[in-house]
């Protein structure tokens, strides 16, 4: 039986070639890493799934849920996963597919398992605690966004009047960064971002490329830059931008093509200037 010998080659051209040669009416194997809850041991289960045209990984998981019987005819429970938008916008369905973190809602079986009997492996992301099966708790990722105050400071309790004028060129620059969907792919790929269950360490462990990029986004926003000193001060502390090892895995892993290494370099420069300013102000 053929195995997935091309698991790590997931370029767009490779996926397109697989789509074009995908065999109609085939059955593929989903090999899924399962876990019944936090602290419980993991196990692998395999399922046979008949492929329908255009089927994605979420549809395959729904097929399994309707009849949760493994490939060796053992009755089991439906596989638990997270999902919301089903159009690669919310990031909730991110899992490790054939060794790479990506969104399962946009992952087509034709692209990853084009032949009869091909196997696709599904695992939960390793950098976040597993809630159950493929569902992970991404709270730490959102906590990092609060660390860098990734928001525009607006008090909605009274009329603030017109805000500063927007420059279309700067809006265009920020647009790319604003597409971040907090999926966690950049963190899963980053050697500096390690699994941390102890919440008391979330304020000193590496914030991650997504948070650094969001800090840059809001530092460049006409109103958001009010909080720029706070953001840079936070990014000077342990777990800040200097913890980045510059391996550049993050930018390759980001499904939205966000210029993460540019953001890391830009924030690095801003932090240096802020450190000089603080030095001369005696802070
Ligand atoms: S460049 Fe920095 S944030 Fe990106 S993967 Fe490397 S260490 Fe992680
Ligand atoms: S920067 Fe990219 S990979 Fe990282 S959380 Fe945002 S969308 Fe996902
Ligand atoms: S369900 Fe929202 S990105 Fe997949």
Q: What is the pLDDT of residue 281?
A: 85
Classify residue 248: in a domain, yes or no. Answer: yes
Q: Best substitution site from 194, 211, 259, 264 to test ligand 1's pocket, by max atoms within 8 Å of Cβ?
A: 264
**CATH code for the domain of 74:** 3.10.20.30
**Using one digit for the tens of pLDDT, what is the confidence trace for 176-193?**
999 999 999 999 999 999
**Which residue, of 135, 161, 194, is where some domain finishes?**
135
Helix (H, G, I), strand (E, B) or coil at 247: coil
Q: Tell me which ligand sits closest to the C-alpha of residue 87.
A: 3
Same domain, 54 and 165: no
Q: Ligand 1: which residue has its CA nearest to atom 3?
A: 209
**Using one digit for the tens of pLDDT, what is the confidence trace for 213-238?**
999 999 999 999 999 999 999 999 99
Same domain, 71 and 164: no
Q: What DSSP letter does each residue of 96-128 carry, written as one string?
A: EETTEEEESTT-BHHHH--STT-EEEEE--TTS
**Using one digit for the tens of pLDDT, what is the confidence trace for 42-55?**
999 999 999 999 99
The finding on whether 99 has its CB within 6 A of some atom of ligand 1 is no
Same domain, 188 and 146: yes
**Residues 264, 267, 269, 275: is their CA dihedral positive or negative?**
negative
Helix (H, G, I), strand (E, B) or coil at 49: strand
Classify residue 3: in a domain, yes or no. Answer: no
**Using one digit for the tens of pLDDT, what is the confidence trace for 247-261?**
899 999 999 999 999
Calculate what percentage of the chain has a pLDDT beyond 70.
Answer: 96
Q: What is the pLDDT of residue 239?
A: 97
Same domain, 192 and 264: yes
Same domain, 228 and 115: no
- Angle between helical axes of 209-219 and 228-235 (0-180°, round to 10): 160
| Number of domains within the chain | 2
Q: What is the pLDDT of residue 10?
A: 64
Give the contacts of 152 (CB within 8 A, at least 6 positions apart): 218, 221, 223, 224
Q: What is the pLDDT of residue 253?
A: 96
Same domain, 218 and 263: yes
pLDDT higher than threshold 60 for residue 6: no
Confidence of residue 2 (pLDDT cuts 50, 70, 90): very low
Same domain, 160 and 258: yes
Q: What is the pLDDT of residue 282?
A: 81
Q: What is the pLDDT of residue 163?
A: 83
Helix, strand, coil share of the chain (percent; to 5):
35, 15, 50
**Which residue, of 100, 135, 170, is where some domain finishes?**
135
Nearest partner of 141 among 157, 154, 125, 156, judged by Cα: 125
Give the distance (Å) from ligand 1 centre to CA of residue 71.
39
**Which residue, of 105, 135, 165, is where some domain finishes?**
135
Same domain, 131 and 203: no
Q: Ligand 2: which residue has its CA nearest to atom 2?
A: 254
The finding on whether 190 has its CB within 6 A of some atom of ligand 1 is yes
Q: What is the pLDDT of residue 226?
A: 93
**CATH code for the domain of 199:** 1.10.1060.10
Same domain, 156 and 274: yes
Nearest partner of 268 among 238, 245, 235, judged by Cα: 235
Same domain, 106 and 148: no
The finding on whether 263 has its CB within 6 A of some atom of ligand 1 is no
274 lies in which domain range? Answer: 138-280
Q: Best substitution site from 241, 249, 265 to test ligand 1's pocket, by max atoms within 8 Å of Cβ?
A: 249
Q: What is the pLDDT of residue 264?
A: 98
pLDDT higher than threshold 90 for residue 155: no
Classify residue 152: in a domain, yes or no. Answer: yes
Confidence of residue 5 (pLDDT cuts 50, 70, 90): very low
pLDDT higher than threshold 60 for residue 196: yes
Q: What is the pLDDT of residue 8?
A: 44
The residue written with tokens 């936070």 in the block is 234
Same domain, 155 and 98: no
Classify residue 191: in a domain, yes or no. Answer: yes
């Amino acid at each position: 039986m053929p195995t997935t010998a091309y698991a790590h080659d997931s370029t767009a051209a490779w996926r397109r070639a697989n789509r074009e040669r995908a065999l109609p009416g085939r059955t593929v194997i989903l090999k899924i890493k399962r876990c019944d809850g936090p602290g419980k041991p993991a196990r692998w289960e395999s399922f046979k799934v008949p492929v329908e045209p255009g089927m994605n990984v979420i549809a395959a998981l729904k097929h399994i849920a309707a009849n949760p019987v493994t490939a060796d005819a053992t009755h089991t429970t439906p596989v638990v996963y997270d999902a919301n938008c089903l159009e690669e916008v919310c990031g909730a369905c991110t899992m490790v597919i054939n060794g790479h973190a990506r969104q399962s809602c946009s992952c087509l079986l034709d692209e990853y398992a084009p032949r009869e009997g091909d196997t696709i492996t599904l695992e939960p992301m390793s950098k976040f605690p597993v809630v159950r099966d493929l569902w992970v708790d991404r709270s730490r990722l959102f906590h990092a966004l609060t660390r860098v105050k990734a928001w525009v400071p607006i008090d909605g309790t009274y009329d603030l009047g017109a805000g500063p004028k927007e420059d279309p060129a700067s809006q265009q620059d920020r647009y790319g960064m604003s597409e971040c969907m907090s999926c966690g792919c950049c963190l899963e790929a980053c050697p500096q971002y390690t699994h941390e269950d102890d919440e008391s360490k979330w304020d000193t462990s590496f914030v991650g490329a997504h948070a650094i990029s969001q800090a840059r986004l809001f530092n460049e926003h006409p109103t958001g830059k009010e909080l720029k000193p706070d953001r840079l001060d936070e990014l000077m502390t342990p777990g800040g931008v200097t913890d980045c090892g510059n391996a550049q895995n993050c930018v390759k892993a980001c499904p939205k093509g966000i210029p993460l290494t540019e953001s890391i370099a830009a924030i690095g420069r801003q932090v240096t200037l802020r450190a000089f300013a603080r030095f001369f102000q005696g802070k």
